[in-house]
Structure 1
Amino acid sequence: MTREQAVAELARQWRTAVSDTGFVPMPQRDLERLLTGLLERLMAAIVAEPFDGAAAAAVGADLVRANLTDPRVMARTSGALAPLAEAMAPHRARVVTALGELARGYTVELLATRARHQEMLHAAMADARQAAEVRFRVLFDNAAVAIGICDTGGQVVDANPALAAMLGLPVPRLRGLPVSELVHPDDHAEIRARVFDELLTTGSGTVRLELRYARPDRTGGWAEWAITLVPATGGRSAYLLVVGEDTTQRRALQAELSRQARHDPLTGLPNRRRLVETVAEIIADAGPDDRIGLGFIDLDGFKGVNDTYGHGVGDRLLAAVAPRLAAHTAEAMLARVGGDEFVVLFPPPCDAARVAAVTRTLLDALTEPIPVDDLKLTISACIGAVVTPVADADAEQLLDAADAGLYRAKAAGPNRWVLHNHDITARAILPGPR
């Protein structure tokens, strides 16, 4: 298959994935042509020197500008473009980064678009208060953002179609419902305190808060709400004007970007950043007698595998080694910190016996050959371990201590492990299984 054919096929799959997400404002042929152009731009950005994530972010922004704004578009785009990681294997890391930048650009542009719409809505509503009721009704019914009107007792007086669609209930059924039935039970206390205590007591103003909403089908989601108390005037009772924007997709995208930033794309394990964060969290909560264990793992002869069979085989070997090690670290955290280096974190309570037992098990786990493609590769490891008090420690210094033990283990020969104090005074250098 030529490159042009491969791009066309991937664009077709992308078009199929997003074509049924809400209202797609163009014919299928035009949609596929648009996505083909965006795909070409994304691939060009991945191989460009120097790499510039802004080009990938611009692709995400153009999806929004093409009115592909259904909450499912970004998730399906991520799935449809996942094959790029294999198709552009030499640039695998860039592919992951580019897809993350695409999602970021999409989110930023979507939020900016929604903000513009919301600004337009607030401006229009200011005019509508002085205009005829019919004009307000047209705006209310056709606004893209969710709008509701509640009385000061907390019952829904009216809702527009966008709010009804968000909550999964028709407008007639929403009227008269208590607001508490539309909000997740865990958020009842916040809405009571911020709205029915703070806002109504003050007598005017707007509160902004992000709450979970409930739907009859139990799916629910998150939304940002601006709740304004409109004072009584001209014989009309005071009421609450509620304007909402669904943030479920944004939160999911932020969570995914956070996950990508803290996990190794090759093995799926936590990366060094996540490891340091976890150690810092343990330090913050540690008591004076709490101890942790850290084991720095380095594969013996991994460079030879890369030199002999190529980096693709080396990557697949690392991907196969990771679950073998993880199977023996159920009560600890296994992270890949770079190259062929892994770290095991033993949270409190921890002692030398526990670390030593697991360390031996990890070396044993690598004794059997590892199948990679049509090869069976034999690999061993050296492990430097440390058991140390953790209160008032520094996360990076603890990792450095374990790393120092790794170099002592490697100096003793392959398939070794060393357990040492935090002051890097060795306590034992023992051979692994033969």
Structure 2
Amino acid sequence: MLDIQAIRADFPILNQQVNGKPLVYFDNAATSQKPKAVIDAIMKYYGEINSNIHRGVHYLSQKATDAYEASRQKIQKHLNAKHDYEIIFTSGTTHGINIVASGFAKFVKEGDEVMVSAMEHHSNIVPWQMLCERTGANLVVIPMNEQGELIMDEFDRLLSGKTRIVAVNHISNALGTVNPIQYIIKKAHEAGAAVLIDGAQAVPHMKPDMQELDCDFYTFSGHKACGPTGSGVLYGKEEWLNKLPPYQGGGEMIKEVTFAKTTYADLPHKFEAGTPGIASGIVLGTAIDYLDAVGFDNIIRYEQELLDYGTERLQEVEGLRIVGTATHKASVISFLVEGTHPYDIGAIVDKMGIAIRTGNHCTQPVMDFFGLPGTARASFAFYNTKEEIDILVEAVKKAQRMLV
């Protein structure tokens, strides 16, 4: 069992007031808050070991390099990747997806197909559209139903020998749907297609196993998993990373440079051009350590309690509609209140110290499917409480009385 008050004490930002009210932070799907261990690790890096990595023989450079590579190994172990060089440090999920989408121009030709789902974040749509525009390939979309679940019969029908890659999210940031990615990966591989999983919303809430999933690529952002902004990871199977061309050229990613020809460095450096976000990479390892210490079994169990409780309590609000009612969900509730605009709900509850998200959540096709301008979204983390949900419910009721 989690000691929630002890956990909350680890997060300094939670101990403040907003508009004269205790902060209730329910925008975790956008970014998570940071424990003191992570904040301290950032200060320690810049105060004690700040130096460029891989290039210097002096003490600080060696110390920073060791810490950076130790973080890579922590993440390898956390994801159960076969090799540490299959872990590519990035600035976030968007960066990881773009590395793969750009490189796949080498393997996609006119008439081929790239498959995404109807519930993707813009960052897992736009790079693939750009790839299709460059190559003449066609973008194919797995449809979803009114519950916010992918229609798997349609996925089976759309999958073909023309499919070169399937790119889907593990968990929808807008709806909370947990997608059946193991089935998708298996069927895609049977059709000869590669698979990229957008794990931005999954890694904060569960511990994905690369050997069990057998996906070709998996990418996530550190800032959603208690880590610093500007940090992220692209996992790729060794054989795929060796086949993909570099995404950027510059220092660090080269083996030898002449004006006649350049040869590229071995993995993982081939995809890590220039001076990386050294502090972000090192401290991402600290964040992973923190989450592992809390325990993902504990996180999964407790966040399910919050989701169930929040779903039940919010449905007490007359005229409130939950958008996204999949059987398997993470701790995200998107909702509308009849007769109000989600922006107005968000602005009023903010005056009561409550942070929620409003808008299309960078999933405009999802909102178009439901015929909505956007939703209000409450997303819970393991440091939230049922008492905070009670505060949200009462605030929504008050906003409703003011607006309707």
TM range (shorter): under 0.3
What TM-score, normalized by structure 1, do the two folds share? Answer: 0.24
What TM-score, normalized by structure 2, do the two folds share? Answer: 0.25
Greater RCO (CA < 8 Å, at least 6 residues apart)? 2
Structure with greater proportional helix content:
1
